[in-house]
Chains A and B, each alone.
Chain A
Amino acid sequence: MKRTSAFNVASVALGLAFLYLPIAILVIYSFNASRLVSVWGGWSLEWYRELLRDQAILDAAWMSLRIGALSASAATVLGTLAAVALTRGRRFRGRLLFSGMVYAPLVMPEVITGLSLLLLFVASGVDRGFWTVTAAHTTLTMCFVTVIVQSRLIGFDRSLEEAAMDLGCPPLRTFLTVTLPLIWPAVAAGWMLAFSLSLDDLVIASFTTGPGATTLPIRIYSQVRLGVKPEINAICTIMIAVVAFATVASSLAAKRGATRRAREGLGVQV
């Protein structure tokens, strides 16, 4: 029944065109020598050079990278723990509340999360800046990590863990030598997702930031509000290139890992 009808091909082609056309246009116009969007002035790298001279944008990018790396790492640890607790742990009191708190941030409008975190920081009297944005991003992204790791934990053969435990392996060692290698791709994917969500976030960062902690999206947003600027096209193109490279590289790595595991038979040595 696998029929590739014209309708199916057309809907996939149109859908993908819709997704990629605006991005392609943005990339092409970042190389436009003319300042006007509607006028094509020939190919040029002028806006990239201008970007390199824009210290504010560079500072903001560095700030975003640091917040992203730190919050993604914290979120990966917390999110993996939460996933293990939800799938492997015995029943515990307040479990319903716990799973509720894990899934709610996935769909919660950002303005609500941002406002509530800001009010928390004000009420507790901490100085807002790098650390408050990092904590806010950790909270948001750990839930995404949990969902990804959880689906992997459910998907694999539990008897491997049970065998290790039956042979007297303590729980933590079982986790480190059996479970973690098996769920590793999901943990890595979770980190990547957390990192890119943090780099992407404007609303929560705007609420929780303070003086001296301007992230890249906040900077871009304030520029965009003033109108289209070719430099913004250039920095967006760089970000797209980084993302595309990381995605292709990680999917290639995952494929190589899968074939290697397939060759070795069972990729676990207890």
Chain B
Amino acid sequence: MKARAAAKRPGGGRLVVLVPYLWLLAFFLVPFVIVAKISLSQTAMALPPYTPVLDLAAGWEGVKQFAAQLSLDSYALLVSDELYLRSYLKSVEVAAASTVLLLLIGYPLAYGIARSPRGLQPLLVMLVVLPFWTSFLIRVYAWINILQRDGLLNDVLMRLHITSVPIAWLSSDTAIYIGVVYSYLPFMVLPLYASLEKIDPGLLEAAADLGCPRWKAFWRVTLPLSWPGVAAGALLCFIPITGEFVIPDLLGGSRTLMIGQTLWTEFFSNRDWPVASAIAVALLALLLVPILLYERLQKRAIGEAP
């Protein structure tokens, strides 16, 4: 409706930009400003559970009063309480290690698909993507079936006499890594495949003709050319894994929480909105550089009009 009315007027094409622009401003950018504001507020036993609430009706006095009450208490808490620092480090550790694992598993898979017969490739890609369409929650839950104490893995291990007592797989870092690698594998394989598939086979033939051994051709030709895929896949996994909540919550233990869980607990259990907001701001600061890098890659990949 709006678009039609717009097209009749000259310059109505602006509405095409304006509608999604305003939507994103209202539902993406403004919320961040609010998070930043609340992270500077103080916890209160009220609803909403924070003060001060900016009272614009009070005019300039209201703004001054508001500014005077802002505090850095929440940030001070983040720095002073070891709990928060530990969960930050834990998140970065899990994200970095699982990104490496994903590369080690995803690269051979993507390489194998890119080297398979042309006609087969779309089917193989679809098979990799298909699990991504099923619910994230289901995929994590599927592993609980396998990893729990009287689950399938222990059953198999005990039948094979590899172990005589059931091993506690759940509530451990191993379970987190399995869940993360399993859930994020398609995100790693797709960009890798996209860049590997583009490589001209003639280059490798040329290398072979000139007497280059295959491993060296891989190292000197294939790997450097697939670099954009490696970077895209790594960022596409690293950033969301750092803030991951569902996987560590269902599969991990309760000893060291990841930062997403800490935020969740502060918000839902402790009802400390200012601290939860401060955690979000700090997490965003940590991820700002990777996110900007990812955006640059994405723009280049899509060959956006300058």
Residues of A within 8 A of B (CB): 1-5, 7-12, 14-16, 18-20, 22-23, 25-26, 29, 36-38, 78-79, 81-82, 84-87, 89, 92, 94, 97-113, 115-117, 119-120, 122-123, 135-136, 138-139, 142, 146-147, 150-151, 154, 170-173, 196, 199-200, 202-203, 206-207, 217, 220-221, 224-225, 228, 232-233, 236, 239-240, 243-244, 246-247, 251
Contacts and interface: CB of A to CB of B under 8 A. Distances in A.
Contacts, number: 274
B84 interface: no
Interface residues of B, number: 102
Contact of A116 (B127, B246, B280): B280
A23 B34 contact: no
A151 B19 CA distance: 21
Contacts of A26: 138, 141-142, 145
A37 B35 CA distance: 44
Nearest to A224: B141
A200 B137 contact: yes
Nearest to A218: B137
Given A117-B27, A154-B302, A15 B112 contact: yes
Interface in B171-230: 182, 185-186, 189, 201-202, 204-205, 208
B20 A81 contact: yes
Most chain B beta-carbon neighbours within 10 Å: one of A14, A29, A81: A81
Given A154-B303, A202-B137, A120 B30 contact: yes
B60 interface: no
Given A103-B298, A109-B240, A115 B112 contact: no
B135 A200 contact: yes
Interface in B153-171: 154-155
A47 to B, nearest CB: 13
Task: State the majority secondary structure of interface residues on A.
Answer: helix
A236 B260 contact: no
10 contacts: A12-B112, A22-B142, A22-B145, A37-B152, A79-B20, A110-B243, A146-B20, A199-B135, A200-B135, A221-B137
Contact of A23 (B20, B139, B239, B267): B139
Contact of A4 (B116, B139, B290): B116
A11 B126 contact: no
Contacts of A171: 7, 13
